[in-house]
Structure 1
Amino acid sequence: MFITEILIRVSCFSSDRFKAFLCFCFIVLLFGCEPDENQVVVIPKAGETIVRNDTVIVWPEEIQYGFRNPMMGFREFFSPGVDIKRKDYPLPFGSMVKEYMQWVKLEEYANDDVDKIKAYSNHRWKEIEKQNVKVIPRVLLEWPEEDGVQDPSIPDDIRGTHWPKDLQTGDYFSADFKNRLIKFVEKLALAWDNDPRVAYVEMGIIGQWAEHHTPSISDYWPTNSGEPHVPNKTWIPGIEKVLGDVFSASFKNKKILVRYAYDFKDYEFGLIWDSWAMPEEQARGYSEIMKLPNRWKKQPVGGELTWNWGTFGDKYQSVEELLADPGERFRMVNLIRELHCNHLGGITWANFSDANFFENANEVQKAMGYRFVIDEFKYPLILKSNEDFKVRFSVTNTGSSPFYYDWPVEISLHDVKTKEKIWGGSIKNLKISEWMPGESWDVTSQSYLTKPNKNIVDASFRLPSTVPSGNYIICVSVLDPSGNIPSLRFAINNYHNGGRHPMGYVGVNIRSMENYAVDKNSFDGLLWDKSLHYKL
């Protein structure tokens, strides 16, 4: 006679799945397939915690809304001195700001050193780390007057031209410009490549709005007017290699993004579809990105919701109106999934107090970037001083893109009453940039045909004797290396403000807990936590 314990968690399955499970059990019994007498068949229920064989098993419940997370989702833009950041900033979804950085402010003369770039960056990005926001800088030479005339009373006004004082305005075509460009980008890298405030760097520099047109990087795509390209007038021969080489050689840490997917094909840069989902940009944006089907795995794909020109400009007066259109929103989300979009701009002036807009924006935010869900978390009932213990958990990326940097994941013990951290250790040799989403988006099923992997994490730690005996909360968190402070969050209900995910109670040298599940009433919502930050 053998003993088989079957724990059936009925409530999280459909009736059909439950029937299939009963059929499986019947077949096992009918054909006498005897399991080991200690075998336990467990069907998990989201939000539940159980104890088996001196191991606590937690199945966190996934949250159903989008939220702020570092270097993904909606991206903002503020014209310095013109746009005033609202008192409720940062916004519920935004974790990045695009910063147009005028060349002349960063470098007036060729002999200016890197300290000038650092000083102006510090001025523009002052205290942004306190809001847990990162920047995407783009160096700018000209902002066309059609978007407004430069105001002399605004020192940081980005409108107008911004050429360094020892170069002739508009001289994109000379050898002097190319040589100067190389040295300037090398200085930029010295200033920004290790700056924790920088998420990604948009190459920019060339053309109107630094968008790599007027003049163009190459003659691959026709001019905006449709006329044939003219070398050294409408496009800059040789500049693609100059920029590609110097950015690749100089920036070893930050991801570089370029405006058009058809330029720089010989380089591993991220991609920008500036007018996301715009019908007029379908061939130039969508079709060209699709020719680089695996680029997103190592490099971000971003863009902007531009509702104020073309087809969208004829129909909508704001981003609220654009996202309120269910057809366009559906198409937008599917393109995010298909192209593995990491971030989109265009929401800086949106009204997040409008409940309808908030719901629509949430749908888009939830689709963008990475979305890490802890499926299961296991740890020992008791941890013993000066002895090793193991933690095992699985993570699924249900989002659209990876997280592109390898930040440390920490397991920590916290005081049950105060939630103060008592001990913590980072998991060694873990690459969270390899937690990939699914592939081959299917519009009909609204899912990836190639499902995302469950990433199994096994970690071992030795508990120091300095941790007093008693009961603790065991937490998991992802740290921003700049200060080693919790920052990136998992999409689960188990959350305490400050970036920690409480998984359960654990004893150190004692076993006195009857219920190892953390009270759900103690959980905080991820959406409104503004305590997150990093340190310089």
Structure 2
Amino acid sequence: MKHIKRFIALFFIAAVLSGCKEDMVTVSYPEYTKAFRNPMKGFREYFGPGEDKIRAEYPYPYGSMTKEYMQWNMIEDDSSDGIDKIIAYSNHRWKGVEDINMKVILRVLLVWVEPWHGGKAKDPNNPDDLNGWHWPKGISPQVSPYKQIPGSVGAYVDPKDKTTPIIGGYFDPAFPERVAKLVEKIGQAWDNDPRVAYVEMGIIGEWGEHHDPDLSTYWPPHDEPEHVANRTWVPGMEKVLGDAFTKAFKNKKVMVRYAYEFKDYEFGIYWDSWSQPQEQVRGYEEMKKLGDRWKTQPIGGEITWNWGDLAKFKSFEQVVADKHTREYTIEQIRNLHCNHLGGITWANFNDPEFRKNAEILQKAMGYRFILSDFTYPSEIKNEKPLNISFKVVNTGSSPFYYNWPVEVSLLDAKTHQKVWSKTLDNVNISDWMPGDDWTIEKEAYQKPAPINEIKSSISIDKSLPDGEYIIALSVLDPAGMLPSLRFANENYFEGGYHPMGYIGVNKKPGKAMIDKSLFYDIQSDKTLRYNLNNN
């Protein structure tokens, strides 16, 4: 009798547990095979302020970032100028970027091209012109022994001036303190600005590229066989800048020009000579020495095709059309874990051949998150936990460098409007790493990208009408908490949502999978934006 009673009790418990068990559904949708715009990755644009006309099709199909060179004397001319001047000029130069979901990469600039390299003066009719010198008040102008080589962009020094330093400019005794105070101000202005993607250190050298003059004597100077202190390099400035930028920027990622400098700091790199064989040692091989730096700091720059071996090409379209150069570039992107590249500003994206080649590079650069195995209950109850899980693989070359929130939401099954949502508190998307150790022969990483499996139990803290809904995922820009970053999957609704399946509140839906005819083409969606005031 005892055995019979025990059997009946166990049977009853099993029946109750069976009745409580959720009816779970697992869905997966195909990869979106084309390239598309996604925040802070891929092709980076540039327009000369007040000079270049932005085209009607802007933003471009793949670009999500634009470069802005910020002239020092336009953001701070007098040492007493406050951050309000920096913010005002930033608002002028970056007007409307939030409305087209663009982010800005910044570089403070003092000199575009020196006069002894053929540089021209600033256009007096264009206050935003980048040409010429942009020294602030209080720093004496440069007096240099350099002279331009006739018929060349190179410079030389007369033998009698072999040890003559440059006076003023970077070598003004007031410069170190002045630059440290400027960096403090731009940190206050930009470190929490949602328009800013990354900050390139800049300031020193032509174009802010840390050469002419250099920051160290690690590499020979451009115009002379040997370094001359206070002429070809600025002694002590590497530490001044390293300390200042580390202190000023706690949130935005800072990038420097050369991997062999700033060894005591954790900065990203902007290498402005990708794909150039002449920069194989100075650039590529030095960057490889940084090891896993790419996991936390962005690696980017531009393909500059007006010098070196790439000078044989007359356009960016020709650069990527050349099979050898394109494959060489892909190898560098994959091995250095490149996040973004410039050089495309005037490229013709209406050319189908160029569009095809550009797409190859866009898919390789930055992150590319593919979503699969989304598991959820087909039916839920109000004010009860919603248990979900899903997998993500990053088939790109870099992580996403900021921890933006992932949101799960319920959409109206007919209008696709959001009726409830909640962000996941146990997800850090900057941990979703790509693979490593690229092999050209197999066109794959020898160390495959890890599978990131996310599990979460979410409370439905709102009473919803009984009925059928669509459960969706999105990644939000913290600036306004609007959908922005997209997964590379076909299941997509306009506005940044990835619909995963039908779900019922107090009823079972008729089916789980969503018909592909309802999906919107990711590449065509230009509705995404963010807010400057975070609401």
Residue of structure 2 in register with 1:508 after alignment: 505
Residue of structure 2 in register with 1:37 after alignment: none
Residue of structure 2 in register with 1:58 after alignment: 27
Which blocks of at least 5 consecutive residues in structure 2 are unaligned? 1-20, 143-168
Residue of structure 1 in register with 2:102 after alignment: 133
Q: SS of 2:45's equivalent?
A: strand
Q: Structure 2: how far apart are the matches of 1:421 and 1:63? A: 23
Residue of structure 1 in register with 2:406 after alignment: 409
Report the more deviating stretch, 53-62 or 489-498: 53-62
Residue of structure 1 in register with 2:442 after alignment: 445
Shift of 1:226: 4.5
Shift of 1:450: 0.8
Once the two structures are superposed, the pairs formed by residues 234-253 of structure 1 within 5 Å of their partners are 234-253=232-251
Letter of the 2:68 counterpart: E
1:523 aligns with 2:519: yes
1:318 aligns with 2:315: yes
1:492 aligns with 2:460: no
Residue of structure 1 in register with 2:129 after alignment: 157
Letter of the 2:527 counterpart: S
Residue of structure 2 in register with 1:186 after alignment: 184
Residue of structure 2 in register with 1:83 after alignment: 52
Residue of structure 1 in register with 2:146 after alignment: none
Q: Structure 2: how far apart are the matches of 1:465 and 1:143? A: 57
Q: Structure 2: how far apart are the matches of 1:167 and 1:225? A: 25
Shift of 1:225: 2.6
Letter of the 1:141 counterpart: L
Letter of the 1:284 counterpart: R
Shift of 1:249: 1.1
Q: 2:39 aligns with which of 66, 70, 76?
A: 70
Q: Structure 2: how far apart are the matches of 1:190 and 1:133? A: 21
Once the two structures are superposed, the pairs formed by residues 95-244 of structure 1 within 5 Å of their partners are 95-144=64-113, 146=118, 148-170=120-142, 171-244=169-242
Residue of structure 2 in register with 1:472 after alignment: 469
Shift of 1:478: 0.2
Please tell me whether the aligned partners of residues 79 and 137 of structure 2 are also in contact (alpha carbons under 8 angstroms): no
TM-score normalised to structure 1 length: 0.89
Q: SS of 1:256's equivalent?
A: strand
Please tell me whether the aligned partners of residues 217 and 227 of structure 2 are also in contact (alpha carbons under 8 angstroms): yes
Letter of the 1:139 counterpart: V
Q: SS of 2:473's equivalent?
A: strand
TM-score normalised to structure 2 length: 0.89
Q: Structure 1: how far apart are the matches of 2:305 and 2:119? A: 15
Q: Structure 2: how far apart are the matches of 1:304 and 1:276? A: 6
Which blocks of at least 5 consecutive residues in structure 1 are unaligned? 1-51
Q: Structure 2: how far apart are the matches of 1:331 and 1:226? A: 31
1:394 aligns with 2:377: no
Q: SS of 2:126's equivalent?
A: coil
Q: SS of 1:335's equivalent?
A: helix
Q: Structure 1: how far apart are the matches of 2:463 and 2:384? A: 12
1:285 aligns with 2:257: no
Letter of the 2:48 counterpart: S
Letter of the 1:153 counterpart: N
Percent of paired sites with the same residue: 54
Residue of structure 2 in register with 1:535 after alignment: 531
Letter of the 2:237 counterpart: I
Residue of structure 1 in register with 2:460 after alignment: 463
Once the two structures are superposed, the pairs formed by residues 285-434 of structure 1 within 5 Å of their partners are 285-313=283-311, 315-434=312-431
Shift of 1:227: 1.3
1:93 aligns with 2:93: no
Shift of 1:127: 1.2
Q: Deviations over 1:48-89 (max 9, x none)?
A: xxxx97111111211112111111100011100111111111
Please tell me whether the aligned partners of residues 426 and 456 of structure 2 are also in contact (alpha carbons under 8 angstroms): no
Indicate how the Cα distance of structure 1 residues 462 and 183 shifts in structure 2: closer, same or farther if over 3 A, else same.
same
Shift of 1:397: 0.5
Q: Structure 2: how far apart are the matches of 1:410 and 1:175? A: 52
Letter of the 1:430 counterpart: V
Q: Structure 2: how far apart are the matches of 1:507 and 1:464? A: 16
Q: Structure 1: how far apart are the matches of 2:295 and 2:391? A: 20
Please tell me whether the aligned partners of residues 389 and 456 of structure 2 are also in contact (alpha carbons under 8 angstroms): yes
Q: Structure 1: how far apart are the matches of 2:339 and 2:290? A: 16
Letter of the 1:88 counterpart: E
RMSD (CA atoms): 1.2
Letter of the 1:308 counterpart: N
Q: Structure 2: how far apart are the matches of 1:195 and 1:366? A: 28
Q: Structure 2: how far apart are the matches of 1:303 and 1:209? A: 13
Q: Structure 1: how far apart are the matches of 2:132 and 2:247? A: 31
Q: SS of 1:67's equivalent?
A: coil
Q: 1:271 aligns with which of 269, 272, 275?
A: 269
Indicate how the Cα distance of structure 1 residues 164 and 465 shifts in structure 2: closer, same or farther if over 3 A, else same.
closer
Q: SS of 2:136's equivalent?
A: coil
Please tell me whether the aligned partners of residues 119 and 132 of structure 2 are also in contact (alpha carbons under 8 angstroms): no
Q: Deviations over 1:441-496 (max 9, x none)?
A: 11111111111111011111111343211111110000000000000000000101
Q: Structure 2: how far apart are the matches of 1:376 and 1:302? A: 32
Q: SS of 2:174's equivalent?
A: helix
How many residue pairs match? The answer is 483
Q: Structure 1: how far apart are the matches of 2:459 and 2:23? A: 18
Q: SS of 1:199's equivalent?
A: strand
Q: Structure 2: how far apart are the matches of 1:335 and 1:496? A: 34
Q: SS of 2:170's equivalent?
A: coil
Q: SS of 2:214's equivalent?
A: coil
Please tell me whether the aligned partners of residues 45 and 345 of structure 2 are also in contact (alpha carbons under 8 angstroms): yes
Letter of the 1:409 counterpart: V
Q: Structure 2: how far apart are the matches of 1:443 and 1:122? A: 44
Q: Structure 2: how far apart are the matches of 1:353 and 1:345? A: 18
Letter of the 2:458 counterpart: F
